[in-house]
């Protein structure tokens, strides 16, 4: 079985997984993939043996032709393509758990650091869906993009107007934990609120090395692999 391991290197001798196997159809690049050992990749979208379309997160190993996920798997949102669903898992899950931890009230002001990235795109839309006002410090080239996602205020990156809450995707990650129902809630929210998965560049499975190299550049949204 083919898959990408740390290096990165494409190999064709990975062991076949056993259990409820999912044929991976799409995935994406996340920052953690640059520091992972073994088989790379953390989010996926694919098809079960019964033909059901699903998406989810694994803690390494998604960049393979077939995987057996843990509990972080759910039906693929109907409003997303397979490529979009493959880019939604880790960024969407991180944003969802972060936003849920704030217990937002309608009218709250939320400042999001790193809003132009993959998790930031989800966090903006999830906050807006909860009735919050989003403030996004950013570069001027990102203003139109961030407003298209729902940010009400886009300030200079060094400016930090008063806010009820701060979501920080720039500093090291907080100790947030997803539950077994988190992926299902994420999928339901994506469908209910037409949440977008902005893909700025698309790569094939054979172009993983190029995708990892492109990740280090300034981006608006996700790098998809399908």
pLDDT, tens only, 1-40: 999 999 999 999 999 999 999 999 999 999 999 899 999 9
**Which CATH fold topology does 93-168 show?**
Rossmann fold (3.40.50)
C-beta separation of 6 from 38 below 8 A: yes
- Residues 189-212 as b/e (b if ≥16 CB within 10 A, e otherwise) read bbeeeebbbbbbbbbebeebeebb
Give the list of residues 6+ apart from residue 190 with CB closer than 8 angstroms, or none.
Answer: 77, 79, 80, 88, 92, 197
Tell me if 3-88+198-225 shares its fold with 93-168.
no
Residue ranges per domain, the chain? 3-88+198-225, 93-168
The reply to whether CATH 3.20.20.80 applies to domain 3-88+198-225 is no
pLDDT, tens only, 153-186: 999 999 999 999 999 998 866 677 888 799 999 9
């Amino acid at each position: 079985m083919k898959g990408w391991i740390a290096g990165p290197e494409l190999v064709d001798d990975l062991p076949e997984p056993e259990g409820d196997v999912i044929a991976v159809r799409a995935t994406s690049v996340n920052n953690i993939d640059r520091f992972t050992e073994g088989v790379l990749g953390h989010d996926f979208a694919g098809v079960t043996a019964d033909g059901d379309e699903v998406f989810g997160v694994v803690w390494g190993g998604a960049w393979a032709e077939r995987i057996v996920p843990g509990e972080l798997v759910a039906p693929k949102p109907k409003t997303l393509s397979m490529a979009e669903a493959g880019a939604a898992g880790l960024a969407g899950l991180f944003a969802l758990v972060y936003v849920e931890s704030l217990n937002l009230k309608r009218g709250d002001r939320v400042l999001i650091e790193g809003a132009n990235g993959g998790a930031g795109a989800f966090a903006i839309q999830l906050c807006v869906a909860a009735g919050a006002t989003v403030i996004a410090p950013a570069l001027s080239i990102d203003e139109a993009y961030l407003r298209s996602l729902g940010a009400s205020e886009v300030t200079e990156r060094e400016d930090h107007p008063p806010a009820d809450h701060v979501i920080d995707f720039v500093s090291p990650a907080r100790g947030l934990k997803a539950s077994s129902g988190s992926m299902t809630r994420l999928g339901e929210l994506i469908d209910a609120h037409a949440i977008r998965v902005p893909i700025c560049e698309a790569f094939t499975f054979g172009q993983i090395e190029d995708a990892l190299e492109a990740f280090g550049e300034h981006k608006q949204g996700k790098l998809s692999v399908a």
